[in-house]
Amino acid sequence: MTVEDIRNVGIVGHGGVGKTILAEAMLHSAGITNRMGTIEDGNTVSDFHGQEVERQISISTSMMHLSWLKHKVNLVDTPGYMDFIGEVYGAMHVVDTGLIVVDANSGIDVGTEVVWQYGKEHDLSKIFVINKLDKENTNFDKIVEDLRESFGPDVIKVQFPYNPGPGFDGIVDLIRCKLLRFAKDGSGTFTQEDVPADVKDIFDEARLQFMESIIEHDEDLMTKYVSDEPISEEELKKALSHAVKHNEIYPVLCASAKTNVGPARILDIVVNYGASASDLPDVHGTDGDGNDVSRKCAAGEPMSALIFKTISEPHVGEISFIKVYSGTLKVGSDVYNAASDSTERISTLFVLNGKERKDTPQIECGDMGAIIKLRNSHTNDTLCDRSAPIALTKISFPEPVTRAALHAVNKGDEDKIGFGLHALHQEDPTFHHYYDGELKQTIVSGQGELQLDIVVHRLKKRFNVDVELSEPKIPYRETITKTADFRRKYKKQTGGRGQYGDVHVEIKPRERGSGFEFIDNIVGGVVPSKYIPAVEKGIRQAMEEGALTGSKVIDVSARIFDGSYHNVDSSDMAFQIAGAQAFKECMRKAGAIVLEPIYKVDIRVPEEYMGTVMGDVNSRRGKVLGMEMAGKFQVIRAEIPLAELYKYSSMLRSMTQGRGRHHREFSHYEPTPRDVQSKLMAAYSSEDE
Ligand SMILES: Nc1nc2c(ncn2[C@@H]2O[C@H](COP(=O)(O)OP(=O)(O)OP(=O)(O)O)[C@@H](O)[C@H]2O)c(=O)[nH]1
Ligand SMILES: [Mg+2]
**Ligand located closest to 83 CA:** 1
d(CA 500, CA 570): 5
User: Does the fold of domain 403-470 match that of domain 283-392?
Assistant: no
Residue 15 Cβ < 6 Å to ligand 1: yes
Starting from the edge strand earliest in sequence, which strands make up the sheet with 517-520, in order? 484-492, 499-509, 556-564, 517-520
Alpha-carbon span 117 to 109, nearest angstrom: 12
**pLDDT-based confidence at 409, cuts 50/70/90?**
very high
- CB 111 near ligand 1, within 6 Å: no
634 lines ligand 1 (CB under 6 A): no
Q: What's the 23 CA to ligand 2 centre distance in angstroms?
A: 9
20 in ligand 1 pocket by Cβ < 6 Å?
A: yes
**pLDDT for res 362:** 96
Indicate which atom in ligand 1 lies nearest the CA of residue 38.
29
Confidence of residue 311 (pLDDT cuts 50, 70, 90): confident
Using the atom order of ligand 1, give the atom closest to the CA of residue 111. 25
CATH number of 283-392: 2.40.30.10
Ligand nearest to the CA of 15: 1
What ligand 1 atom has the least distance to the C-alpha of 46? Answer: 20
Query: Within 10 Å of residue 368's Cβ, how many Cβ atoms?
Result: 25
Residue 575 — very low, low, confident or very high, per pLDDT cuts 50/70/90?
Answer: very high
Q: What pLDDT does residue 490 have?
A: 94
Report whether pLDDT(645) > 70. yes
The DSSP annotation for 64-98 comes to EEEEETTEEEEEEE---SGGGHHHHHHHHHH-SEE
Residue 22 CA to ligand 1 center (angstroms) comes to 8
Q: What is the pLDDT of residues 339-373, one digit of tens each?
A: 889 999 999 999 999 999 999 999 999 999 999 98
Q: Any idea which ligand is nearest the CA of 263?
A: 1
Rounded CA-CA distance 233/596 in Å is 66
Q: Distance from the CA of 136 to the center of ligand 1, in angstroms?
A: 15
> Which ligand is nearest the CA of 133, by number?
1
pLDDT, mean of residues 20-26: 98
Q: CA–CA separation, 601 vs 275, rounded Å?
A: 38
Which of 258, 259, 447, 450 has the most ligand 1 atoms within 8 A of CB, as the residue to mutate? 258
Distance (angstroms) between ligand 2 centre and the Cα of 98 equals: 15
Could you read off the pLDDT of 77-130 as tens digits, one per residue? 999 999 999 999 999 999 999 999 999 999 999 999 999 999 998 889 999 999
Say yes or no: CB of residue 19 within 6 Å of ligand 1: yes
Q: How far is the CA of 493 from the centre of ligand 1 (A)?
A: 81
Decide whether any atom of ligand 1 lies within 6 Å of the 260 Cβ: no
Sequence ranges of the domains in the chain = 3-279, 283-392, 403-470, 478-591, 595-685
- Residue 689, pLDDT above cutoff 70: no
In the chain, % helix, strand, coil (3-state, to 5) comes to 30, 35, 35
The CATH class that applies to domain 478-591 reads alpha beta
| pLDDT number for residue 688 | 67
| 115 pocket-lining for ligand 1 (C-beta < 6 Å) | no
**pLDDT tens figures, 49-69:** 888 999 999 999 999 999 999
| HSE (side-chain half, CA atoms, 13 Å) at 137 | 3
Q: With contact defined as beta carbons under 8 Å apart, do 340 and 377 qualify?
A: yes
For the Cβ of 270 lying below 6 angstroms from any atom of ligand 1, the answer is no
Whole-angstrom distance, CA of residue 640 vs CA of residue 603: 11
Distance 39 CA to ligand 1 centre (A): 7
Cβ neighbours of residue 395 closer than 8 Å, sequence gap 6 or more? 89, 90, 93, 308, 379, 380, 429
Whole-number pLDDT of residue 572: 95
In this predicted structure, the answer to whether residue 1 has a pLDDT above a threshold of 80 is no
pLDDT band at 503 (very low <50, low <70, confident <90, very high): very high
Distance CA 304, CA 339 (A): 13
In the chain, the percentage of residues whose pLDDT exceeds 70 is 100
pLDDT at position 321, please?
96
Per the prediction, the chain carries an average pLDDT of 94
Query: Which atom of ligand 1 is nearest to 57's Cα?
Result: 24
pLDDT at site 199: 97
Q: Which residue among 14, 17, 21, 54 is best mutated to probe the pocket of ligand 1, counting the most ligand atoms within 8 A of its Cβ?
A: 21
Using CA atoms, how far apart are residues 578 and 219, in angstroms rounded to an integer? 82
Going from the Cα of 426 to the center of ligand 1, the distance in angstroms, rounded, reads 30
- Ligand 1 atom closest to the Cα of residue 256 is 31
What digits encode the pLDDT tens for the residues 478-491?
999 999 999 999 99
Predicted structure pTM score: 0.90
pLDDT at residue 237, as a whole number: 96
Beta carbons within 8 Å of 22's beta carbon, 6+ residues apart: 11, 99, 101, 129, 131, 255, 257, 263, 266
Task: List the one residue out of 199, 203, 148 whose CA is nearest residue 176.
Answer: 203
Is the CB of 135 within 6 Å of ligand 1? Answer: yes
Indicate the range of 133-147, 247-261, 673-687 predicted with least confidence. 673-687
Class of domain 595-685: alpha beta
Task: Name the closest-CA residue to atom 32, ligand 1.
Answer: 132
User: Domain 3-279 - what CATH class?
Assistant: alpha beta
Is the CB of residue 472 below 6 angstroms from any atom belonging to ligand 1? no
**Within the chain, how many helices (H) and strands (E) appear?**
16, 38
CB-ligand 1 contact for 11 (6 Å cutoff): no
Distance set, CA 147 to CA 108, 128, 252, 255, 497 (Å): 7, 9, 9, 16, 83
Instruction: Give me ligand 1 centre to Cα 565, in Å.
Output: 79
Assess if CATH 2.40.10.220 describes domain 403-470.
Answer: no
Q: What is the pLDDT of residue 687?
A: 79
Ligand 1 pocket check for 27: Cβ under 6 Å:
no
